[in-house]
C-alpha cells in the first residue's frame, strides 16, 4: 500500500508493474488474507494503525480480484483503466500532438514490439503500450529469478523501457496540469 501510493504519484508505469507483481503475489498466496498477513503485512515495521491500513488494503485488493474474477490471471479494472489511459496518451502523442521525440522512441521499439507480439501470440486487440508493459513485466520476473537474458532481449527491453518512461513522464505532466 505504502509503496503503491508512492509509485502511483511518482511513476505510473512503475506503479502498474508493481501492482501486477502484487496481484501475482496474492495469487501465489491463494488470495488468503491470513497468508498475506503472515508473509507480507507482518513484515512491515509499522504501528498498529498503519498495519491495519496495510492489512485492509490487501484485503480489499483480494476482494476486488475475486469479484472481478481475476483469481488466476488478468488484472483488476483500475489497472486496466490506467493502461488504457496510457494508451490514449500514446495515440495523442503520435497522432494529435505529433510529438517527434515520442515518435522516435516508438519507431525504435516498433520491430521489437512486432517480434514480441508474434512470440507471445498476442493479437492486435492488445495495444503496443500494454504489450510493452507485459514485456517489461516478464523481463522483471526473469531478473527476479536471476535468469539470464540474451543481448537481443536486453536491447528490446531497453527500447520498450524508453518508450514507456517517456509516456509515464507525459502522464505525470498531464496529471499535474489537470490538478491546476
- 80-101 pLDDT, tens digit per residue, is 999 999 999 999 999 999 999 9
pLDDT band at 38 (very low <50, low <70, confident <90, very high): very high
Contact 158, 112 (CB under 8 A): no
**Residue 156 pLDDT > 90, yes or no?**
yes
Give the contacts of 4 (CB within 8 A, at least 6 positions apart).
Answer: 15, 18, 19, 22, 57
Cell of 45: 515495521
pLDDT value of residue 167: 97
d(CA 20, CA 26): 10
Model pTM greater than 0.95? no
- 121-152 pLDDT, tens digit per residue, is 999 999 999 999 999 999 999 999 999 999 99
Long-range (24+ apart) CB contacts under 8 A made by 123-130 are 127/83, 127/87, 127/90, 128/90, 129/83, 129/86, 129/87, 129/90, 129/164, 129/167, 130/83, 130/87
Nearest Cα to 86, choosing from 26, 133, 21? 133
Amino acid at each position: 500500500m505504502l509503496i503503491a501510493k508512492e509509485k502511483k504519484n511518482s511513476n505510473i508505469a512503475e506503479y502498474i508493474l508493481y501492482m501486477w507483481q502484487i496481484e501475482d503475489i496474492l495469487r501465489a498466496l491463494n488470495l488468503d488474507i491470513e497468508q498475506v498477513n503472515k508473509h507480507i503485512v507482518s513484515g512491515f515495521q509499522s504501528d498498529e494503525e498503519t498495519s491495519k491500513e496495510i492489512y485492509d488494503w490487501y484485503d480489499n485488493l483480494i476482494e476486488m480480484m475475486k469479484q472481478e474474477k481475476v483469481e488466476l490471471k488478468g488484472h483488476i479494472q483500475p489497472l486496466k483503466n490506467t493502461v488504457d489511459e496510457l494508451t490514449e496518451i500514446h495515440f495523442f502523442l503520435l497522432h494529435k500532438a505529433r510529438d517527434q521525440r515520442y515518435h522516435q522512441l516508438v519507431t525504435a521499439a516498433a520491430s521489437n514490439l512486432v517480434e514480441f507480439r508474434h512470440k507471445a501470440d498476442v493479437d492486435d486487440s492488445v495495444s503496443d503500450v500494454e504489450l510493452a508493459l507485459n514485456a517489461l513485466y516478464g523481463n522483471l520476473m526473469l531478473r527476479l529469478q536471476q535468469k539470464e537474458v540474451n543481448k537481443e532481449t536486453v536491447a528490446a527491453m531497453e527500447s520498450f523501457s524508453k518508450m514507456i518512461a517517456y509516456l509515464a513522464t507525459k502522464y505525470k505532466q498531464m496529471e499535474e496540469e489537470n490538478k491546476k
